[in-house]
Amino acid sequence: MQKVNWTIIALHFNRQGEKMQNMKLIFRPLLLSLLVLTLSIPFLTASAFAKTTKPKKNNGYPVITKTYKQAPATRQAIAKTKPDQSPTSRVSVRQTEADPQPEQQPDREPERQSARQRPAPTPSADNQTLTKKITAKSAIVLDARTGAPLFERSPDNPGQPASTIKVLTGLIALQNLADNDRVPVSRRAADMPRSKVNLVTRKTYQADKLIDAVLLASANDASVALAEKVAGSESAFAQLMTKKAQEFGATRTVCKTASGLTAKGQYTTARDLAVIFRHAMQNNEFAARMRQLTANFDGDILRNHNKALWQIDGAEGGKTGFTQAARQTYVGKFKRGNDEILVAVMGSYTMWSDISNLVEYGFNQKQNQRLAGKGQSSPKNPQQAGPAYADSRSNPSAGRKVAEL
């Protein structure tokens, strides 16, 4: 029997294995290429379809299919010849700004003529100019005698009043306390933040002096001390303030503090501030205090924060305010000749400039009304101007009673 040479057999199988490895190296790239080609078929098909739909060219240039805005004359011609064809959305927006008539009408010329004959609802040019000048978010100018508005800019938008609400604090204190009444100071009142006159808890102060501190120097500690003296607590006093505002017709005012410091649920409007100040200034004692430039307080000189008294002609009194939430606020009264106006601003960044512009506008409006024969002068019958005005005309000493309406 022939002996098997296992060495030769082993070499044979080893060579066969090397051939298989070489085959794998050859076919592996081919398999990968086939896989890539299979996955690329959808993309190649989409590309070929896009080429077939490519816009035709005219003399080597592509044909432009985009629709551009047409001239006004062209739009009118299309509207007359094709009434069912609606213009593009861009044209519709532009036409709405210039012409408020419905766009579905193909021929709008008769409607445009009718619109030109109606009075324009937009404000006057002077009104628009003033609106651009002032920075106040809310403002109003009222005729102080009739209460008629001369200028308005969002006058009913509610906001924090800041120290302008101290008009009610000072007025209610005047009506409920005698000048010589002694007012104690609680720890809570003494700890109020600025503005303040640094009241001391171990001392008592005359109500007369504290009222000046509130109305002129906008003292928060004096406001709380007076509130606690009159009502027992600041919160109870705030309810009296809200009630007084409502009696004056300021129905969009809610008070939570005697100082006007920012508080949740507290708000007023520019219109309400003007209404409140209009009634408050009919109290002779209140009006006299608001005209003071300085006042003595416990050996110190208090200076009125209302710069309008020496910067703006005709200023008769006013109250300033500022907090981060409210920004700059103001309400005041001005008189030139027989014309009297009230100005209130809220949310201002350039308060004194705003006030000056509003005052000049208000008096110009009064002059224009007289020139047009429509001036709102003092009524011959005082009853026509309401009970508050009638009482102040018939009895100048009844200022306190008028304010208690």
The predicted structure's pLDDT at residue 399? 37
Residue 361 located in a structural domain: yes
Reported as a pLDDT band with limits 50, 70 and 90, residue 3 is low
- The average pLDDT across 36-48 equals 69
Reported as a pLDDT band with limits 50, 70 and 90, residue 11 is low
Q: Where are the alpha helices (DSSP H) in 57-198?
A: 72-81, 89-98, 109-117, 125-133, 166-176, 187-190
The predicted structure's pLDDT at residue 2? 55
The predicted structure's pLDDT at residue 46? 63
- Residue 163 bears catalytic tag: yes
DSSP element (H, E) containing 365: helix 351-371
Residue 156 located in a structural domain: yes
CB-based burial of residue 247 (10 Å sphere; 0-12 exposed, 13-18 middle, 19+ buried)? Answer: middle
CB 252 within 8 A of CB 158: yes
Higher pLDDT pick, 36 / 198? 198
- What does pTM read for this prediction? 0.63
The predicted structure's pLDDT at residue 254? 97
Of the listed ranges 18-22, 183-187, 234-238, the one predicted with least confidence = 18-22
Of the listed ranges 21-25, 46-50, 155-159, 352-356, the one predicted with least confidence = 46-50
Sign of the torsion angle spanned by Cα atoms 45, 48, 50, 53: negative
- Residue 354 CA: distances (Å) to CA of 124, 153, 217, 266: 18, 12, 22, 24
Residue 152 located in a structural domain: yes
Question: How far apart are the C-alpha atoms of 290 and 273, rounded to whole Å?
Answer: 15
Domain assignment of residue 347, given as a range: 129-403
Of the listed ranges 50-64, 111-125, 138-152, the one predicted with least confidence = 111-125
Total domains, the chain? 1
Reported as a pLDDT band with limits 50, 70 and 90, residue 372 is confident
Average pLDDT score over the chain: 78
Higher pLDDT pick, 71 / 10? 10
The predicted structure's pLDDT at residue 127? 78
Of the listed ranges 12-16, 44-48, 92-96, 244-248, the one predicted with least confidence = 92-96
- The average pLDDT across 190-209 equals 95
- The average pLDDT across 2-16 equals 65
Q: Hey, what amino acid is at 321?
A: G
The predicted structure's pLDDT at residue 41? 74
Question: How far apart are the C-alpha atoms of 215 and 194, rounded to whole Å?
Answer: 14
Question: How far apart are the C-alpha atoms of 330 and 158, rounded to whole Å?
Answer: 14
Residue 214 located in a structural domain: yes
Is the model's pLDDT at 400 over the cut of 60? no
Strands 149-153 and 182-184: unpaired
**From the candidates 138, 166, 223, 392, which is the catalytic residue?**
166
Is the model's pLDDT at 398 over the cut of 50? no
**From the candidates 195, 218, 259, 348, which is the catalytic residue?**
218
Is the model's pLDDT at 378 over the cut of 60? no
Considering the chain, what percentage of its residues have pLDDT values greater than 70? 65
Question: How far apart are the C-alpha atoms of 80 and 71, rounded to whole Å?
Answer: 15
Residue 20 located in a structural domain: no
- The average pLDDT across 169-192 equals 97
- Residue 333 bears catalytic tag: no
The predicted structure's pLDDT at residue 71? 47
Higher pLDDT pick, 35 / 316? 316
Question: How far apart are the C-alpha atoms of 301 and 295, rounded to whole Å?
Answer: 6
- The average pLDDT across 382-387 equals 39
Of the listed ranges 19-28, 46-55, 77-86, 187-196, the one predicted with least confidence = 77-86
Is the model's pLDDT at 220 over the cut of 80? yes
Residue 53 located in a structural domain: no
Give the CATH number of the domain where residue 280 resides: 3.40.710.10
332 closest CA partner among 303, 311, 359 = 359
Q: Is the peptide bond before 195 cis (omega within 30 degrees of 0)?
A: yes
Residue 101 located in a structural domain: no
- The average pLDDT across 66-87 equals 45
The predicted structure's pLDDT at residue 239? 97
Reported as a pLDDT band with limits 50, 70 and 90, residue 366 is very high
